[in-house]
Amino acid sequence: MYYFDSAYVAKCYLNDPDSEGVRNLVRAPAVLYSSVICIAEVSSAIHRRVRERSLLRRQALEIGELFRADVESGVWRLVPASEFLLWEVHETLRSLPARVFLRSADAIHLASVRAAGLSEVWTNDRQMLRAARYFGLQGRSA
C-alpha cells in the first residue's frame, strides 16, 4: 500500500525527471491511496503542461481521461476531505512548532494518510517530508 501526494500521483501520468522512480514503486500491483484533493491538483498539473506547451491539448485530454478512469475504476482510493478531516488538520496545525512550514493542501494530505490508517506518505516535497513526523508519519521519497 502506498499513499502518494498529488505530485506523486501526477508523476504516474506525466513525464518528469523523477517520474520513472515513482512508477517503479507501483509496477507490481499495489493499493494506491491519495486525498480527493488530488483530482484538482493533478488536473492543474496537466493544465500547466498545456500552458507551458509541453503537452498538446489532445494529449492533456487523453491523460486527464486516463486519470479519471483510474480513479473511477478504483486504481486510486481517494480519502474524502471531510469536515472532520479538516478539523484534524486544524488541531494538528495548532500544535506545530512555529518553525514548521506546511501548506494547507500538504496538511490535508498528511491528515488523509492517517485517516486511511497508513503510516507512510510518499512525496518529493521537502516541507511535507519534514512535517510528516508531526502527524505521526514516516515521509518517504522515491
pLDDT tens, 92-140?
999 999 999 999 999 999 999 999 999 999 999 999 999 999 999 999 9
Phi–psi pair at 76, nearest 5 degrees = -105, 130
Every domain of the chain and the residues it spans: 2-140
Which three three-digit cell numbers place residue 85?
478531516
Instruction: Give yes or no for residue 33 having a pLDDT over 90.
Output: yes
pLDDT band (50, 70, 90) for residue 75? very high
**For the whole model, what pTM was predicted?**
0.94
Instruction: Using the predicted structure, report yes or no on whether residue 28 has a pLDDT greater than 90.
Output: no
Q: Which CATH superfamily is domain 2-140 in?
A: 5'-nuclease (3.40.50.1010)
In degrees, to the nearest 5, what angle opens at C-alpha 71 toward C-alphas 75 and 73? 60
For cell 492517517, the residue is 114
Calculate the alpha carbon distances from 108 to 1, 4, 84, 101 in Å. 19, 12, 11, 14
**Mean pLDDT computed over every residue of the chain:** 96
